[in-house]
Amino acid sequence: MMSSNDELNVPQDELAEAWQQTLPERLTGGDKAEVLADGADARTLRVHIKAAGHQSLEFDFAVQYIDSREIDIQLTDVEKDGQSVDERTDIMQELIADYRRHLHETAQALHHYTHS
């Protein structure tokens, strides 16, 4: 991975709040998101998404800023009714891909905020 002088210089709590305001606008109607600062890593946000509908699906992602523009997204958990589920099914992969796209769209929407 290339190192960049383009460091992220936004306080983590302010960044989490900006994400909390912006991400729900990118999600499908009825989906709910919670964005929290990762206490262990100042460059990482924890994103919890509750999918709309009767499936009781919940997705957890770690969104790490590589620099002020680029993010890395890791899926950390998928649960249905509070139980971990196999995220390798086609339907789950489609949902995860959609949420990853929404996370990238949120990061792009906040470029003006993260890239000074």
Domain borders along the chain are: 12-114
pTM of the model: 0.92
How do residues 5-48 score in pLDDT, each as one tens digit? 588 889 999 999 999 999 999 998 899 999 999 999 999 999 99
What's the CA gap between 39 and 1, in Å, rounded? 24
Kindly indicate whether the domain formed by 12-114 is annotated with CATH number 3.30.310: yes
pLDDT attached to residue 116:
67
- pLDDT tens digits, one per residue of 71-97: 999 999 999 999 999 999 999 999 999
Whether 2 and 8 have beta carbons less than 8 Å apart is answered as no
From the CB of residue 83, how many other CB atoms can be counted at a distance below 10 Å?
Answer: 8
% of the chain surpassing 70 pLDDT:
95
Length reported for the chain: 116
pLDDT at 67: 92
DSSP string, 31-44: -EEEEEE-TT-TTE
CA contacts within 13 A on the Cβ side of 43? 12
